């Protein structure tokens, strides 16, 4: 499959995150993308660097002040103290209910909290460069499909589906799937379906398109009552205003088996047919894998092949965007299974 890979991804390499009160090694590592790239190379897939600038879609998806913050965050962090070069910034305060989020404080950590949904999205010196090039990779994949390619894969990290209009979260900074969908809308597609199969609900993508009927969002994920991101992803979220009826959440209890997962996939695919989407973006998280260290579904390599084949049967121009998947050594094979299943079917 035609693959646009992010040549800057390795510049985003934070060292640690927090887990149960301890600093632990980051789960979302450069090695993830290297394993996928190596597998696709060995599998003979066509690999290209981004050839489109995502600037216009970026301005439609994210707020100007959030993008300004992301672009300048690292230099501002270093300006506080040169020793910060060796440290990672984490938010420690957030404007929750009753506090003001219209004001941008001058204090750096206060602004970091304003633009974060959690403390789980560590920033590094090259985060902006990596995330910005990832947006170009997503726009490039979308362009290639609108120009006639049957499908394309955006092989990038950091992931994107938790990032909202004006916030980062869950290892995500720029919402690559939203960039891809918006890019397709800006070209010929009248309605785009985004199907999020990552273990975690794509809260950012849902919220970005929640009031729109030109982008339908469907997601299969661990029940947010127990799984991240906890505060969105419930079945009663169906869209508002023009977007009423254009959002579908299919939460499944942690520990659900492949049969339950594919039953939900069938519902999502039927819904994509009902809304008459003319293009598809797949937020391809592979953390539904049985060996994933932070998730609790149990899909196998064979199940990923089956997923690819089912998506191909929708018959839509398709962009795959890599999201999560933390069993890094198996990530390349699992990604390739989806692409093979898709390409065998059409
Ligand atoms: C990102 B994606 C533990 C925090 C856990 C939440 C998981 C983010 C998953 N330190 N962070 O959807 O795969
Ligand atoms: Zn995930």
Ligand 1 atom with minimal separation from the 287 CA: 13
ipTM of this complex prediction, to 2 decimal places: 0.96
pLDDT at 232: 99
pLDDT at 274: 98
Residues with CB under 6 A from ligand 1: 17-19, 120, 159, 162, 170-171, 198, 200, 228, 285, 287, 323-324
Q: With b meaning 16 or more CB within 10 Å and e meaning fewer, what string describes 233-271?
A: beeebebeeebeebbbbbbbeeebebeebeebbeebbeb
Domain coverage including residue 128: 2-345
Task: Decide if 74 contacts 128 (C-beta within 8 A).
Answer: yes
Give me the CATH number covering residue 222. Answer: 3.40.800.20
pLDDT at 103: 97
**Over residues 155-165, mean pLDDT:** 99
Task: Give the ligand with the smallest distance to the CA of 158.
Answer: 1
Helix 328-345 / helix 30-42 crossing angle, nearest 10 deg: 40
- 9 belongs to the catalytic site: no
* Protein residue whose Cα sits closest to atom 3 of ligand 1: 19
HEC assignment per residue over the chain? CEEEECCCHHHCCCCEEEECCEEEECCCCHHHHHHHHHHHHHCCCCEECCCCCCHHHHHHHCCHHHHHHHHHHHHHHHHHCHHHHHCCCCCCCCCCCCCCCCCCCCCHHHHHHHCECCCCCCCCCCHHHHHHHHHHHHHHHHHHHHCCCCEEEEECCCCCCCCECCEEECCECCCHHHHHHHHHHHCCCCCEEEEECCCCCCHHHHHHHCCCCCEEEEEEEECCCCCCCCCCCCCCCCCCHHHCCCEEEEEECCCCCHHHHHHHHHHHHHHHHHCCCCEEEEEECCCCECCCCCCCCCECHHHHHHHHHHHHCCCCCEEEEECCCCCHHHHHHHHHHHHHHHHHHC
Task: Pick from 156, 228, 328, 334 the residue to mutate for probing ligand 1's pocket: most ligand atoms within 8 Å of its CB.
Answer: 228
* Protein residue whose Cα sits closest to atom 4 of ligand 1: 120
Ligand 1 atom with minimal separation from the 198 CA: 12
Distance of CA 336 to the CA centre of its chain: 18
Q: How far apart are the first and last CA of the chain?
A: 12
Upper half-sphere CA count for residue 136 (Cβ side, 13 Å): 17
- Catalytic pick among 162, 200, 201, 221: 162
pLDDT at 346: 46
* Protein residue whose Cα sits closest to atom 8 of ligand 1: 170
**Could you read off the pLDDT of 12-68 as tens digits, one per residue?**
999 999 998 899 999 999 999 999 999 999 999 999 999 999 999 999 999 999 999
What's the whole-number average pLDDT of the chain?
98
**Could you read off the pLDDT of 259-309 as tens digits, one per residue?**
999 999 999 999 999 999 999 999 999 999 999 999 999 999 999 999 999
pTM: 0.98
Looking at the structure of the chain, the number of domains it has is 1
pLDDT at 340: 98
Ligand 1 atom with minimal separation from the 202 CA: 12
pLDDT at 345: 57
Distance 118 CA to ligand 1 centre (A): 10
**Could you read off the pLDDT of 215-226 as tens digits, one per residue?**
999 999 999 999
Ligand 1 atom with minimal separation from the 324 CA: 13
């Amino acid at each position: 499959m035609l693959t646009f890979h992010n040549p800057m991804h390795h510049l985003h390499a934070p060292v640690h995150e927090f887990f149960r009160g301890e600093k632990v090694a980051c789960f979302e590592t450069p090695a993830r993308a290297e394993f996928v790239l190596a597998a696709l190379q060995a599998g003979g897939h066509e690999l290209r660097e981004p050839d489109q600038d995502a600037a216009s879609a970026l301005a439609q998806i994210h707020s100007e002040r959030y993008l300004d913050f992301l672009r300048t965050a690292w230099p501002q962090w270093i300006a506080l103290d040169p020793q910060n070069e060796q440290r990672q910034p984490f938010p420690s305060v957030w404007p929750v209910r009753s506090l003001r989020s219209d004001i941008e404080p001058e204090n750096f950590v206060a602004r970091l909290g304003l633009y974060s949904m959690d403390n789980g999205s560590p920033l590094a010196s090259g985060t902006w460069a990596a995330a910005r090039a990832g947006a170009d990779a997503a726009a490039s994949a979308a362009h290639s499909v609108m120009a006639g390619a049957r499908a394309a894969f955006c092989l990038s990290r950091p992931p994107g589906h938790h990032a909202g209009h004006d916030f980062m979260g869950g290892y995500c900074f720029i919402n690559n799937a939203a960039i891809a969908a918006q890019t397709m809308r800006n070209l010929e597609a009248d309605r785009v379906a985004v199907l999020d199969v990552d273990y975690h609900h794509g809260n950012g993508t849902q919220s970005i398109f929640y009031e729109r009927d030109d982008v339908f969002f469907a997601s299969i994920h661990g029940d947010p009552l127990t799984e991240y991101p906890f505060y969105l992803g419930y079945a009663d979220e169906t869209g508002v205003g023009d977007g009423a009826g254009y959002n579908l959440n299919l939460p499944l209890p942690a520990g659900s088996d492949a049969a339950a997962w594919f039953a939900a996939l069938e519902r999502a695919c039927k819904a994509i047919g009902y809304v008459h989407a003319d293009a598809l973006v797949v937020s391809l998280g592979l953390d539904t894998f049985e060996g994933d260290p932070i998730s609790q579904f149990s899909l196998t390599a064979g199940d990923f092949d089956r997923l690819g084949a089912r998506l191909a049967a929708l018959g839509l121009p398709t962009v795959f965007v890599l999201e999560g998947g933390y069993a890094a050594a198996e990530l390349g094979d699992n990604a390739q299974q989806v692409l093979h299943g898709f390409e065998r079917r059409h």
